[in-house]
Amino acid sequence: MSTPRPPANAPRGPRRWLHHLGIRRVPPETSATWEIEHHLSELVDRLVAEGMQPADAEREATRRFGDRARYVPTMRRLARRQLTRERLMYTWDAVRQSVTSVARTARRYPGYTAGVVITLGLGLGANATMYGIVDRLLLQPPKHIVQPERVRRVFLTRPHPVTGMTTSQDEFTPPDYEDLEAQRTMSVAGYDAGGFSIVGAGAGATQAGTLRASAEYFPLLGVRPHMGRFFSDEEVTPGPPTAAVLSYEFWRRAFGADPDILGRVIEVADDRVPVIGVLPQGFTGVDLRPIDMVLPLFTNFEGDEECLRSRGCYFIHIVARLNDGVGVVTAQAEATRLHQNGRRDQVEAGRWPPEASITLSPLRTARAGPELSAESRVAAWLMGVSVVVLLIACMNVANLLFARMTRQRRELAVRLALGVSRRRLVSHAVLESTLLALTGGVVALGIARWGGQIVRTTLLPDVSFPDSAVGLRVIVFTLMVAVLAGLSAGFGPALQGSRVDIGADLTASGRGSTAKRSRTRDLLTAGQAALSVVLLVGAGLFTRSLSELWGIDLGLDTDRIVVADLEFVGGGLDVASRRDVYALAARRVAQLPGVEAVAGTASPFQTGLAISLRVPELDSLPRFPTLGPYLFAVTPGYFETAGLAITRGRPFAESDGPDRSPVALVSETMARAVWPGQDPIGRCLMVGNGPERCTTVVGVAEDAARNGFTDGAYMGYYLPVAQAVSVQPMGQSIGAPHALYIRGTDPEAIAAAVTPILRTLTPEVRWARVWPMRDSLAGQARSWTLGATMFVAFGLLAVSLAAIGLYAILAFEVAQRTRELGIRVALGAQRARLLRGVLYRGGQVGAAGILAGLVVSYAVAPLAQDLLFEVSPRDPRVLSGVALLLATVSVAASIIPALRATRVDPVTAIRSD
Amino acid sequence: MKQPLGVVQGTLELLILRTLATAAPMHGFAILDWIRDTTDDVLIVEDGALYPALRRMEARGWLESDWGVSEKGRRARYYELTPAGRKALAEQAAKWERYVSAMAKLARTKA
């Protein structure tokens, strides 16, 4: 018997790997059957040769083989295991080869490698930065809340008393809150979010952002203290605070992480309060604003207990946790019923709308109302924008890879000829680009660490970010996107590379007398230009919104005013002392260099006072959607300090004292509304519910903003503080200022100089808060500032990438055509003609991109309309400006390659490879 | 039945390793032929038992296999030794020699 020889075509050596990939791989199920069949047929052959009948031979062979049913499953199982092992080994082998190859490429073409890594790094960096922000604003619930999906914010929804439009508010009165405590479908907790307390005294005093919470607040959220405990029911009662809970951050910052803080008594304004607990790190309640300290709800209402019983004093925010198995609709219905019951008397008297209802909205973070806040919506847009930036980066890289594949055609053809499968070539190229992208991802994390920090501190200062800008989620996200980017950028070029024609590309000298223009590359370049146009249009629209916003005439010269607010020992001063202290403060401050004027106001910016007002000749005053009219009690220098022009009559004078006849100024809007077409000077106002006495209008002042940019027209009038002692809205006399306005050209410097003087002014002053008025507006401009800044940053990044892309493709083409250009020069072509040719190419691609970009912008921009301010999403100035910018950039990017084309030396060019 | 099966299996593996070490890639039928020739048919009861053993050894990394065409023009699976297989052969052979000489001593010892 002869020993069987291996057949000539049995795969051996390196080609074995290819078989594992190719169609010759036999599935484990079939391979066992095939192998057994082969055995049986060999045996039958032999038995027949030995003289057996074929039928008998088959029976005998089967008998000799034994229990086939027992062997086959084992064989299949083992075969499957073997297959998995081979695949793993193949993958590992491919990864190893690609790593080596990338390293080799990086050494041989450092510029190309750096280009790819940096381009992807920038694109991925934009994404990592934005993801870190969006994750906090939109994706993650606030920290330390158990089962956040069952927690709801509670809103009071009712028709606006004047306009009838449905509005939602998140502030409730104490009785309205108590109504909801009877709820059975959910539990509720109240808190009061805004506010500062002064902790400590004298030089060691510090300001602490303070939340006031009901006893149910912490248990409802499910938060566990870092140490100590939270409030008991007895501790949450009206009166001075009986217990304080510190935030982890404040405990470390102000108390040096004192381990014996529990039980330590701290000074909070005039009260001595024991610390009972410390919150876990990063706790911000259901909002995202940092918290320093939590006091019991209802504390510090001395002198204003009326408010706790009134259905007109809105300050409590409510969170709710739905009971298990209760739907939102059921809970809302019950809450609305309880609310309507509580206000039944008012509803029956027609003083409360029967449509008023309770709305529950999920704890999606950073919500300003039931809707997403403008910042969050802008951030979501910016996330999209960063994806577009990445898309541009990927297109750019794809272009580079295409160019490289073209340059490598001969090498690839050789490899194909040597028997490397096309599939292997593709997977190798894709792996390579993925590895480069991962390296870019690491670069991106560096960018995000730096960029994320800047965005957080400068653009979103009101949001607490407990985690580092590059947390685990950001890392995972970035690397995942990096892989995706690598795959998508590498796949097209790889596929093209694998389509190399062995015959043509191997025999072609590789000199490529003329390079074919690649339609794909042109498309990719034009696509980049188009996308940058879209981003730049966004940048333009947001920038215009921002400048429109700051361009609004607020009346007040907000850029030149510093506001100073004094807080007094003992819960406040009587009117006379308060007036004296503010007068002293004004005198001191006026002496500082740079201070142009100082005045006091009892109704500083962003507070609104409205009391009853009558005009004898009218049955009722005109009603405005902004309600009102609003009352401002000010000192004589107020109009000059605030920058409000007196359009008729006169401002207040020092002589308008308490014993002189009462005078008032009215705003232009009020003058027009109350006395249309008539002269308001000398008219009579009946202020408040006191004795019937005329306050004579002596002047008209320019309209002034009351809260910020979008107040809407409102009626306002001014009284001199000296004559307003008896006017006591909300129990507080406005006969003395509550704040100083200080006018000067450099508010920051003035604020810095004024603060120490005011804090040590007299022993009665516990604390002074001093801030440029513009800071009070910055919060309102935040979404536009965020949008404008980031859109501009991303837009410029995008246009730079696109410019580099255009430059690279033209430079590459010129390099490829060196021989052709050389020949043309040798044949007497004019260099100017060559220059024009390249510029024309650049212009063509650029123009196509600009056109496509404008079309897309025209279609997409209106979607962002409600995020813009007073700017049409199709603003022609923005569109044309962007088009012009892009056109300039494309020409600039084409110039260097174009010049290079004209400098081709015919002799070297024709000889060159 | 359990104990002898272990011995038989180990024996079979050693025989396969030895067979493949002496010749170029072979398919299962040829391997079996070779073993039968060398051992005078005494060790293998059923033909089928060979195949799971081959697969197991392949999964262990001792053998490599691929499809080829036999001299009769049939589709056949060819096996050959890997370097790991050669090492395994040396170890198994040494183990068997120790086992066999121990058994031989025991057999010669009178009770």
Task: Tell me the pLDDT tens digit for each residue of A612-666.
Answer: 888 888 888 888 877 778 888 898 889 998 888 889 888 888 888 888 888 889 9
Q: Which of B52, B67, B72 lies nearest to residue A71, judging by beta carbons?
A: B52
- What global pTM score does this model have? 0.73
Asked if B23 has any chain A CB less than 8 Å from its own CB, the reply is yes
Q: Which of A32-36, A351-355, A697-701, A705-709 has the lowest mean pLDDT?
A: A705-709
Distance from C-alpha of A116 to C-alpha of A111, rounded to nearest angstrom: 9
Interface with chain A: mutation pick from B13, B19, B27, B65, highest number of A CBs within 10 Å: B27
Distance from C-alpha of A518 to C-alpha of A199, rounded to nearest angstrom: 70
pLDDT the model gives residue A824 = 83
- Please give the average per-residue pLDDT across A552-556, as a whole number: 84
Enter the ipTM.
Answer: 0.87
Asked if A70 has any chain B CB less than 8 Å from its own CB, the reply is yes
Percent over 90 (pLDDT), chain A: 15
Contact B51/A3, CB-based, under 8 Å? no
Burial environment of residue A341 by CB neighbours within 10 A (0 to 12, 13 to 18, 19 or more): exposed
Asked if A75 has any chain B CB less than 8 Å from its own CB, the reply is yes
What six digits make up the tokens of A170?
A: 């998140």
Mean pLDDT score of chain A, rounded to an integer? 83
pLDDT the model gives residue A431 = 85
Q: Which of A466-475, A605-614, B94-103 has the lowest mean pLDDT?
A: A605-614
Contact B70/A4, CB-based, under 8 Å? yes
Which chain A residues have a beta carbon less than 8 Å from that of B35? none
Contact B68/A10, CB-based, under 8 Å? yes
Which chain B residues have a beta carbon less than 8 Å from that of A82? 55, 58-59
pLDDT the model gives residue A142 = 83
Tell me, letter by letter, the H, E, C secondary structure of chain B.
CHHHHHHHHHHHHHHHHHHHHHCCCEEHHHHHHHHHHHHCCCCCCCHHHHHHHHHHHHHCCCEEEEEEECCCCCEEEEEEECHHHHHHHHHHHHHHHHHHHHHHHHHHCCC
Q: Which of B24, B37, B55 lies nearest to residue A78, judging by beta carbons?
A: B55
Higher-confidence residue: A909 or A91? A91
Distance from C-alpha of A459 to C-alpha of A782, rounded to nearest angstrom: 7
Asked if B37 has any chain A CB less than 8 Å from its own CB, the reply is yes
Q: How confident is the model at residue A166 (pLDDT cuts 50, 70, 90)?
A: confident
Distance from C-alpha of A443 to C-alpha of A446, rounded to nearest angstrom: 5
Q: Which of A110-124, A332-346, A679-693 has the lowest mean pLDDT?
A: A679-693
Asked if A39 has any chain B CB less than 8 Å from its own CB, the reply is yes
pLDDT the model gives residue A1 = 38
For residue B2, pLDDT beyond 50: no
Question: Which residues, at least 6 apart from A872, have a Cβ–Cβ distance to it below 8 Å?
Answer: none
Contact B28/A35, CB-based, under 8 Å? yes
pLDDT the model gives residue A506 = 65
For residue A422, pLDDT beyond 60: yes
Interface with chain B: mutation pick from A12, A16, A58, A62, highest number of B CBs within 10 Å: A12
Q: Which string of DSSP letters, residue by residue, matches A850-877?
A: HHHHHHHHHHHGGGGGGGSSS--TT-HH
Number of A/B CB contacts below 8 angstroms equals 105
Asked if A47 has any chain B CB less than 8 Å from its own CB, the reply is no
pLDDT the model gives residue A3 = 40
Asked if B68 has any chain A CB less than 8 Å from its own CB, the reply is yes
- Please give the average per-residue pLDDT across A345-353, as a whole number: 88
Contact B66/A19, CB-based, under 8 Å? yes
Contact A36/B45, CB-based, under 8 Å? no
Q: Which of A5, A26, A39 lies nearest to residue B29, judging by beta carbons?
A: A39
Q: How confident is the model at residue A221 (pLDDT cuts 50, 70, 90)?
A: very high
Burial environment of residue A165 by CB neighbours within 10 A (0 to 12, 13 to 18, 19 or more): exposed
pLDDT the model gives residue A912 = 62
Which chain A residues have a beta carbon less than 8 Å from that of B49? 66, 71
Asked if B69 has any chain A CB less than 8 Å from its own CB, the reply is yes
How confident is the model over A736-774, as pLDDT tens digits? 888 889 998 888 888 888 888 888 888 888 888 888 988
Contact B74/A41, CB-based, under 8 Å? yes
Contact B24/A5, CB-based, under 8 Å? yes
Least Cα separation, residue B56 to chain A (angstroms)? 6
Asked if A4 has any chain B CB less than 8 Å from its own CB, the reply is yes
Contact B46/A41, CB-based, under 8 Å? no
Q: How confident is the model at residue A825 (pLDDT cuts 50, 70, 90)?
A: confident
For residue A367, pLDDT beyond 90: no
> Residue A755: which of A772, A737, A769, A773 has the closest Cα?
A769
End-to-end CA, chain A: 61
> Residue A258: which of A243, A241, A246 has the closest Cα?
A246
Interface with chain A: mutation pick from B8, B51, B58, B74, highest number of A CBs within 10 Å: B51
Answer yes or no: are the C-beta atoms of A258 and A251 closer than 8 Å.
yes
Asked if B71 has any chain A CB less than 8 Å from its own CB, the reply is yes
For residue B4, pLDDT beyond 60: no
Which chain B residues have a beta carbon less than 8 Å from that of A4? 26-27, 29-30, 70-71
Least Cα separation, residue B10 to chain A (angstroms)? 17
> Residue A312: which of A363, A284, A351, A368 has the closest Cα?
A351
Least Cα separation, residue A142 to chain B (angstroms)? 52
For the sheet with B63-69, list strands across it. B26-27, B75-81, B63-69
Answer yes or no: are the C-beta atoms of A775 and A785 closer than 8 Å.
no
Asked if B45 has any chain A CB less than 8 Å from its own CB, the reply is yes
Contact A75/B51, CB-based, under 8 Å? yes
Coil, strand or helix: which one is A710? coil
Interface with chain B: mutation pick from A1, A43, A77, A82, highest number of B CBs within 10 Å: A82
Contact B72/A19, CB-based, under 8 Å? no
- What residues form DSSP beta bridges with A186? A322
- Please give the average per-residue pLDDT across A147-172, as a whole number: 85
pLDDT the model gives residue A673 = 86
- Please give the average per-residue pLDDT across A411-436, as a whole number: 81
For residue A317, pLDDT beyond 80: yes
> Residue A707: which of A555, A577, A812 has the closest Cα?
A555
Least Cα separation, residue A65 to chain B (angstroms)? 4
Q: Using omega within 30 degrees of 0 as the cis cutoff, is the peptide bond preceding A629 cis? A: yes
How confident is the model over B15-66, as pLDDT tens digits? 889 889 887 889 999 888 888 887 766 666 678 888 988 998 988 889 988 8
Which chain B residues have a beta carbon less than 8 Å from that of A16? 64, 66
Contact B51/A16, CB-based, under 8 Å? no
Least Cα separation, residue A279 to chain B (angstroms)? 58
Distance from C-alpha of A215 to C-alpha of A191, rounded to nearest angstrom: 10
pLDDT the model gives residue A25 = 61
Beta strands in A26-88 (DSSP E): none
pLDDT the model gives residue A611 = 79
Which chain B residues have a beta carbon less than 8 Å from that of A68? 48
Kindly list the distances between the CA atom of residue B95 and the CA atoms of A475, A787, B17, B89, in Å, as whole numbers in the listed order: 53, 77, 14, 10
- Please give the average per-residue pLDDT across A85-106, as a whole number: 83
